[in-house]
Amino acid sequence: MRRGALVVFEGCDRSGKSTQCKKLVESMLEKGMKAELMRFPERSTVIGKLIDSYLKNSKDVQDNAIHLLFSANRWELKPEMERKLNEGVTLVVDRYAYSGVAFTAAKEGISLNWCKRPDVGLPLPDLVLFLKVSSEAAEKRGGFGEERYEKSEIQARVAKNFEKLQENDWEIINADQSMEDVQKQIQNVVSNLMNQDLPELGKLWT
């Protein structure tokens, strides 16, 4: 049986990732494909609950330590991800290790290279869709929320880090377009992927 594809959405806050992830899963299911939505952080686990209280500012955690917890949250879901992919389910993932690195490395005194290390060896995405939103368009979308990191100065540093992490095979989507246009573009890219043979699941940053 053909394995499922690992499709990752990345981008700054307010880039429309969550909306587009849901729409993609819905359209794949309508076409009779097996697809499921996942997200990181996955806030339902014990580690995820800690991350949630950190993001909601109800708990402070030392910067390196919280980075490792975000990474541990991905590792704890690795067996489930691999199982589903092997069952032929395509996983559409709202944020992944790239967010982990881009957000932590936006802090003072933590290098991009240090940030990448704990995630080395995680399942390698077959496709990374980067939703690139301008700060003007993001601001028009009606203010950031109340969570940690949801401030324009931080988002600007995060955007620069994403640029440093970007690889040649990333699909960069102009997320300033209408929701429908973004969706069409994503569907084209994903249907190309679904028509290709997938190699054996790779390992991230190895």
Number of H helices, E strands in the chain: 8, 5
Residues whose CB falls within 8 Å of the CB of residue 136, separated by 6 or more in sequence, listed in order: none
- With CB under 5 to 8 Å by kind, the binding choice for 70 among Mg ion, ligand NYM, none is ligand NYM
Applying CB under 5 A, which part among 9-17, 22-30, 62-70, 110-118 lies near Mg ion?
9-17
- Under the binding rule (CB under 5 A), the answer on residue 42 touching Mg ion is no
Binding flag, residue 55, ligand NYM (CB under 6 A) = yes
Nearest Cα to Cα of residue 50 among 39, 62, 38: 62
Torsion of Cα atoms, 159 then 164 then 170 then 173, to 10°: 20
Burial of residue 165 (CB within 10 Å: 0-12, 13-18, 19+) is buried
Does residue 99 touch ligand NYM according to CB under 6 A?
yes
User: How many angstroms separate the CA atoms of 71 and 120, rounded?
Assistant: 10
List 5, 7, 13, 106, residue binding Mg ion (CB under 5 A): 13
Assess contact for 154 and 106: CB atoms under 8 A. Answer: yes
- Per CB under 6 A, the list member of 75, 114, 144, 149 interacting with ligand NYM is 149
Based on CB atoms, which residue is closest to ligand NYM, 25 or 194? 25
Name the one range near ligand NYM by CB under 6 A: 79-87, 94-102, 110-118, 126-134. Answer: 94-102
Please choose which of Mg ion, ligand NYM, none residue 118 contacts, taking the beta carbon within 5 to 8 angstroms, the exact cut-off set by kind. Answer: none
**CA 138 from centre of chain:** 17
Q: Which residues bind Mg ion (CB under 5 A)?
A: 13
Q: Which residues bind ligand NYM (CB under 6 A)?
A: 13, 40-41, 55, 70, 94-95, 99-100, 103, 149
